[in-house]
Every structure is written in C-alpha cells, then in structure tokens.
Amino acid sequence: MYVFQPHTNTHPTMERNTPLTIAFDAKRALLNFTGLGNYSRYAIEALAEYYPRNHYELYTHKLKDDSRVRHILDIPNTTPVLPDTRMGRALPALWRLAIGITNRLKRSDIDIFHGLSNELPFDISRSGIPSVVTIHDLIFRRIPANYKPIDRKLYDFKFRRAANIATRVIAISERTKLDLMELYDIDPAKIDVIYQGCSPLFTSDIAPAMIQHVRNIYNLPRHYITMVGTVEQRKNQILAVKALPDIPREVKLVIVGRERNGYGKEIADMVQKLHLSDRVIHLTGVPTEPLPSIYNQAEIAAYPSRYEGFGLPVIEALSCGTPVIAATGSCLEEAGGAGALYVNPDSPEEFAKAACTILDDETLRNNLIEAGRTHITRFNRRNFAEQVTATYRRAIESR
C-alpha cells in the first residue's frame, strides 16, 4: 500500500544565500493586466532580478500571447507549469484550488509555494510544503455594497481560508494587516507587512519628446488634475468633479481608467449638472507606458478613494514628482506620507481648498514634491525582494 511521505525539504538551518525553488500561483501574473496582475509580475521580476540563483515555477492553467507575459517567461530562471492532465485543462479552477497544483507540488522539489493574489490551493497543507499568501485587501468586507453577494461570499471563503492555512501571510499595508487581525482573527505574529514599489517606468527620467508625444496623442490640456484608476464608485472620482467649480477655470480634470458598474454615467450626469463638459476629460484604454508622462504634466494627481489596500497610483504620482491629494480613511497616508494632502472623501470643499492651496503656494508645492520623493525611497524593488525572501525563509524554518 502506497503511503505519501510529506515533503521534507524544510532546511531548518538554511543559510541566508541558499538558492530556493519557489512555486507561484501565477494565474494573474500571466493572464491579468490590472492591479493583481501588475503586483504578481512585479513580485516575480523583483525576486528574479535580486535572487537570480533561485528557480521560479509559474503555475497557470494557460498562457496569453502578450509582451508582458513574454517578458516574464524570458527571464532565465522562470519556468511555466501548466496542467498535465485533461481534467486540469478542462477545469482550471479545480486544478488551481482543489487537487491539481497540490498533486503536482507533491511530485516536485519545491521549497515554498506563494499565492500572489489572495488565494492558496485549499489542500496546500497536504503537500507538506510551507506556503505564503499575499492578501491585498478586504475591501469587500469594508464596502460590501460595491460587490455582488455571491462574490462577497466567494472572496470571503477563499481569502479567509488562505490566510488561515498559510504558513505566513504578506499584507501589502498596515491597514490590510489590521483588517486581517480584526475580520479574520489572524495572529499578527504571522503577518509581514511588505510594501511594493511601482514599475521602473515611473522612476525613470522621461524624455521631453515623449512628454510632448503623449500630450499630443491624448490632447492633454495645459493645466490639469489627473486621476488614474478604475472608474468605480469606491474610487470616488466624482469628488473632484464636484470640487471643480471652486478650482480656477483654466484647470481641467483628466480621468484615466476603464469604467465599471455604471459609475461613468453617474460622473457624466454630474458633469452635465455642473456645466463642466469643457473641463472634464475621460481617457480609456490608456496603456501603462504613457502614464508617467500624464502624471508628469499634471499640476496635481488626485486619489480620493474611500478604501484601498495600498494605493499604488499615489506612489506612481510621487515617483513622477507630482503632488497628490488623497482621501483619509484607509491606507493612503501610508502610501503618500508627507508628499500628499489628505481630505475627507465626502467633502468637495476640502478637496477644492487642497487643490487651490497646491496651485497657489509654490513653496508648499515644492515641499510636497521633495517630501514625496523622500517618502517613496522605501518603496523599491530591492527592499521588496529582500523582505519577501525573508518571509520565505521564516516560513521554511518554521516547518
């Protein structure tokens, strides 16, 4: 009778520089091109860059033909792992979360498994391999009205289970850590807060020709406030629209992002009501490459979201030398530090006052830019890679 022997590659006295073989749930890294996908690719790229002796296995049920995917797969120490059974190919969710990945891990010499996007295989413990899960946010618990009931139940089950069965949990902010402790009763000693940085595109110098090209392509106004992010109720873009009548008329509003759940119509109705059709521009389908130029030319970048796990657009804007207006109430103070002004997400008056102050006070503006550049030095790829690797080693040694 066959008896499964648990994986024993736990390295209780592992040297700091011992290479690791790391398996990722890479579904979103290779198939998703918004927030969770961006984080997943950032993590893989940072680890591969600073720990090139490791080997990284990317578990996914399929691959997309996309330049961002090809870039990940071209990294020498990464290998995609796809379902090797007909059932796994036909039932990808079952392969990822129930029996497929775990069975594959049992046959592999893996040191640790990392769920990059809130999930782990439900039976990961059966593999005997230590695991880490990154929890990005529990917004569906804090603002349930923004989610369908079935989605809330599904997310709650998957996120709660992953946080409980993981050897260690990475929270992307102190706010997410506190939510995990409060809502799921996760031991704080099990949670590591690790901030991500943004793409090097936002930290590199931008050629003047690129700036002018982007201005021409998107017909950007001379003076504007920009808001980058999915156009949905939680992101609260309508706050800036309501504040715009109290901001100098030459300053326009440039909203960048795809619309969800009909919120774009709500904004359009408010624009019409306030007679602002000549001052509000909504750009959709904008790829990542032009965003640094859009931030760079803006007078202000606004991100008055009601609730976030972290708030990456704040980091992007500060990296481009643009002062930020953000909302109080979640984690945006962590992201923006002293490089932003913070307002009540329900107060157009506060938003307008903050915007006018930045526009009128050059000394304050320069101070915000300088403070922002100092603040974001903590959000870089090396720090991220080192801290994630330290989490891996703690998880391995605890086994």
| Tens digit of each residue's pLDDT (9 = 90 or more) over 280-297 | 999 999 999 999 999 999
State if pTM tops 0.75. yes
Mean pLDDT in residue range 32-61: 94
Mean pLDDT in residue range 319-340: 96
Q: d(Cα 3, Cα 231) in Å, to the nearest integer? A: 53
Residues 113 and 166: beta-carbon distance below 8 Å: no
**More confident position, 10 or 224:** 224
Edge-first strand order for the sheet with 340-343 is 280-283, 252-256, 224-228, 300-303, 324-327, 340-343
Give the number of C-alpha atoms closer than 13 A to the C-alpha of residue 17, restricted to the C-beta side.
Answer: 0
Question: Which percentage of the chain shows pLDDT scores above 70?
Answer: 96
pLDDT exceeds 50 at position 11: no
**Chain centre distance of CA 161:** 21
Predicted local confidence at residue 307, as pLDDT: 95
Q: What is the band of 15 on the pLDDT scale with cuts at 50, 70, 90?
A: low
| Tens digit of each residue's pLDDT (9 = 90 or more) over 206-242 | 999 999 999 999 999 999 999 999 999 999 999 999 9
pLDDT exceeds 90 at position 106: no
Q: d(Cα 315, Cα 199) in Å, to the nearest integer? A: 10
| Tens digit of each residue's pLDDT (9 = 90 or more) over 156-209 | 999 999 999 999 999 999 999 999 999 999 999 999 999 999 988 998 899 999
Q: What is the band of 14 on the pLDDT scale with cuts at 50, 70, 90?
A: low
Residue 309, helix vs strand vs coil = coil
E-assigned strands of 241-382?
Answer: 252-256, 280-283, 300-303, 324-327, 340-343
Question: Phi first, then psi: what are they for 59, rounded to 5°?
Answer: -85, 120
